[in-house]
Amino acid sequence: MSNIGATARSAMTRGLRGLDVLRDPILNHGTGFTEEEREALGLRGLLPPHVHTQTEQAERFLLSFRKLTDPLDKFVALNALHDRNESLFFRILCDHIDEMQPLVYTPVVGLACQEFGRIFQRPRGMFIGINDRGRIAQILRNWPYQAGIIVVTDGERILGLGDLGANGMGIPVGKLSLYTACAGIHPELCLPVTLDVGCNNDKLRNDPFYVGLRQRRVTGAAYDEFVEEFITAAQEVFPGVVIQWEDFANHNAFRLLEKYRNRVSSFNDDIQGTAAVALAGIFSALRVTGAKLTDQKVLFLGAGEAATGIADLIASGMVAQGMTLEAARRTCWLVDSKGLVVKSRTDLAHHKLNYAHEHAPIADLLGAIKALKPTAIIGVSAVGGTFTKAVLEEMAKFNERPIIFALSNPTSQAECTAEEAYRHTGGRALFACGSPFDPVTLNGQTFVPRQGNNSYIFPGIGLGVIASKSKVITDDMFMKAAHTLAHLVTESDLAQGSLYPALPRIREVSAQIAAAIAGAALESGIAGRVMAASVLPEIEAQMYEPHQ
């Protein structure tokens, strides 16, 4: 048995042989099966005779992959590999995370969702339609594995691209790939789910290749009952499964988070994960300026899930440093499509009210910057090009080191490019982005902008929650994640303008965050199991390594 790996042994235990093994992406290792595995699993003759190492298989894949020039073609090639040989897919993702993450996740996944119906090959995850009401538990039992984490979307607000309906499935799939690649959560534990309640995007619904239900969205009580049945069924079929809400529109995202957060182990990455990654970036920026968090005034362009999530966590951070909650909230200001969010406005959605302060109305971002003189601007509006030359120059007038985060995705929606941020602030911007940008050289100095990508946070949160079996996911866990991430930024990162660690360190980052999360669960008595006093080694031992 010495040359028979764990997955081959698992196939043997399940009595699987021959083509059943080669056609199962979790079990298949293609030409990588050893002589002994070929013998034991009845693979002789079904494979060419030479045994390749996983490294050789990866080189072969990359050889043809790197000849592709179109990002969508690259996405399709990666997806096809995922569908036939998962361990090789994850090996390549882990070893080339800088190159692969923008393809399996933002920005290219946005394009892939827009084209989902056209590039569709094999289904992945589960599609549960509104017409499946009454039998969701039965449907979930069709899933062949015991899920440990579900990323669920209803496709109504995919990245900054709006309603993509069932075509939004690319997002839960991509995110769960990152749970595995970045935090070593075993692929069998990961279940992507799309709740198909219809789609209000007429163009898409009328597209012959659209994969979802051809009806407008169901709303109100019928929607709520459907989600309730899904959550109850998920807990029944997969007891203790962690739920990550993904890309729900504002009117459902805040409600669902509040409704379920104390009932099941659940979180909304667009609100809470974004908050932790942005706050970590601010902590890094403050290491450069030497200023305190409580000295900051933050102006957001956008007033949705990302903006109010980040503002809430910043306010909690200020409270932890001695401010009252009211005073802390007053340091955060929002600009939405109608201008500055102020108390006198009568058109404000509930989630904006904590940040509706006393002030005269101001119509636009530049006017708000001139009036408020913020230390930081954070772009989460999904409207590209809105951090104009005038906006950036204004920020640089009264800030020695203006904090400029252009977080909107995909790249076409970014508020500004890295080059613009550095150029129009004379190289003084402390910059982070939502989509990847290449290094920028300005007056002989090279800046390396890094993405404030949620993938620094959510995989570690998931791993920590699964490892500790935490019954709920608390706000304190996101604060701990932000501190942990910021501590992992080195002085040399900061010296080149990077506010986040290098992406190839992501598994170390995720393990540290998971240890902090599990520690928090144990301390507050919400862990569902006993763990060793030092949790990090236990966490690291659980992480899936994509060997064959």
The site for ligand NAD (CB under 6 A) is made up of: 157, 159-160, 250, 270, 274, 277, 301-307, 335-337, 380-383, 407-409, 413, 434, 452-454
Closest to ligand NAD by CB, 201 vs 409, is 409
Max CA separation in the chain (angstroms): 78
User: Measured from the CB atom, is 72 or 383 closer to ligand NAD?
Assistant: 383
- 175 classed as catalytic: yes
- CA 484 to CA 495: how far, in whole Å? 20
3-state secondary structure of 29: coil
Strand residues in 256-382 grouped as ranges (E): 266-268, 298-301, 332-336, 339-340, 376-379
Which one, 81 or 271, has the nearer CB to ligand NAD?
A: 271
Least distance in angstroms from the C-beta of 338 to ligand NAD: 8
**Closer of 261 and 450 to ligand NAD (Cβ):** 450
Gap between the Cα atoms of 541 and 537, Å rounded: 6
User: In the complex with ligand NAD, which residue's Cβ is closer, 332 or 380?
Assistant: 380
Copy the structure tokens of residue 221.
């009580």
Strands (E), 200-259: 242-245
Give the side-chain half-sphere CA count within 13 A for 538.
16
- State in angstroms the smallest separation of the CB of 347 from ligand NAD: 11
Catalytic-labelled residue, pool 67, 74, 175, 389: 175
Active-site annotation holder among 105, 179, 210, 544: 105
Tokens of 141: 């039992």
Closer Cβ to ligand NAD, 311 or 440, answer by number: 311
Going by C-beta distance under 8 Å and a sequence separation of 6 or more, which residues neighbour residue 221? none
- Identify the residue whose tokens are 């902008």: 449
How distant, in Å, are the alpha carbons of 183, 204, 378 from that of 192? 17, 22, 30
Q: Residue 378 Cβ, how far from ligand NAD at the closest point, in Å?
A: 9
Known catalytic residue at 105: yes
Please give the Cα distance from 449 to 419 (Å, whole number).
Answer: 9
Residue 291: how many CB atoms within 10 A of its CB? 15
Pick between residue 88 and residue 109 the one whose CB is nearest to ligand NAD: 109
Residue whose beta carbon is closest to ligand NAD? 304
300 contact partners, CB below 8 Å, separation of at least 6: 307, 310, 311, 332, 333, 334, 335, 377, 378, 379, 380
Residue 378 vs residues 278, 300, 325, 343, 386: alpha-carbon distances, Å: 9, 5, 21, 21, 11
Minimum Å distance from CB 440 to ligand NAD? Answer: 18
Smallest distance from ligand NAD to CB 68, Å: 25
- Cβ 220 to ligand NAD shortest distance, Å: 20
Q: Minimum distance from CB of 379 to ligand NAD (Å)?
A: 8
Residues labelled catalytic: 105, 175
